Structure 1
């Protein structure tokens, strides 16, 4: 299959005026969207990040609000640079993460990088004071606290540090009022809304390409060109990297014209983190024919652009690679491209067949349908070479 369906849960977090502050994003399995079955917290976190940021797109799930994502101990012990932006991600420290020196050091690094830190399902213990001092938000499951004890609990924590408090599992208006009077800043629970399950489709990734990428990123002498060579041969990897890049768009770089643009922005450390995340989330054994057709277009269009002396030849590769997203994702092409931070000229060429991108894409399509017998002989050689190159990519 060229794509697969995924599910992700979200539950709103409200402020004191009952306005939306953010969402907690929840892992949901692929077979039963209402179940949260996983082998480890690490895999669940990877799936949530992968599906939200490289699947639907974080903006489509939380808008401009905060996204709370649970992270296990291993995340705080890792030396990798997170591949996701700190702009609207709240790092939720799971309740079973021990306050070891290594964990504390990892959280301090994340704070320095601009990430907000929340402590999930918090139960007050003296040994957790170092965590409290680093936290921006503490979440209390108020179902485990007697209502008359809630004010003292919230006051005790706020005496240690100027932290915000989320009251979790608020299920009645009465509990909402108790927590509000006690000084809670935010609220989450069935009183406001049950978790909502949303679904989407994602591009699969060739297993061999992903393993090759993981091997390369561990090489101390790695060059960015080697990464580009691996990623650009796989539509799924390219699409996921572009979706992740959406978070880093800015006024100085509102769109990208090639994988090189994204790689240079990310840097090797962030690309390494991204590749690890993808590998923990999905591994697919099949490279479908539709992917090979997209890759053939990409290789041919770049070669033809180079042959004709056109500039920015890598952007033609990108146009060819994404020219079948509508088929792969089973969406209208405009919708499939809308959330990708790529050059508008590339999008226009793919959707409308206009401009230089559309021109070369049309030539590629003529070879596929054998609809034009007057095609330039140089074009024929380039297309046959592209076919041969893509055939060598198949695993």
Structure 2
């Protein structure tokens, strides 16, 4: 694979996914010259999406793709489906005659246009008048400047998007200012609750999570806890009786299902099954991100020389957002689980804690943010190739989308 491809979510005011900005660069980890904003790069991106499956990367959502002046005036956007992609014009593109003409051609073909890092400067008004989205950077603008932009450009056909929104306070402020779309990692930030504020419905699910990660796996205690969750029983029996297993006879009991799946598979399946329920009062993208991290870490196990630690890598990725999902300090939550020392270190301590487990996790975390230089350093440390990382991340993205859609059907 010739392309590193990551995605960052764009959420609406209800914290539901509207779309994803696609971050991409050449897979040449050495000597990257930061100039892959040309037609060849976009052709690779288009081919990657088409060959792998656009919906496996974006789900049912739109994809925002950055465009330089060259890409814009050469009509390179025609490589992309206007019903799926949004053309995001970089802040370096000056609104000259050729650029304005290119935007008009795209509008006639029903493409949606977004302006990146819009500051409200008068010279960019012609572009703003043609845009469907204005992206305003919270780090580059003041409250007063954003209000001026909202007052001038707020119209029914335009969506105002606040980007680099990193905290709940900034999200609330952006909502008050009149923005309706939001990009940033505010939804991944934990909001710590007191013990008594943790919703009661999470209690038994937390006990299940603790039981499957106890030092000794007790089928009897686990069966008793699962019985208290009828929806979990139904999903477990559906799963174990699916065509993927091909048993000769139907599996009808929890104990039989657990015996057939074994300890490791039960740990993996129950972690996947309980975390979405624990996060039912949180943004959906939080669960999707945790799943993507878990699967990406797991898939990199063999190439990273950790073939026997795939479950530990899966749990590292999944539990990385446990604090945000549940609303309790991560250390307190991990103290209730029996996890390997390097997994705990990777989750609780700064780099380079956690050894190779920690390095794989941090590689995946930086990949999702598009921190390509850090990805390069970690890839070299682990002996991974760019092609392997890109392929595994796309596979993990597809898997997370599929699992997430199944959750909505079965929960």
The two structures have a TM-score, normalised by structure 2, of: 0.43
Structure (1 or 2) with the larger CA radius of gyration: 1
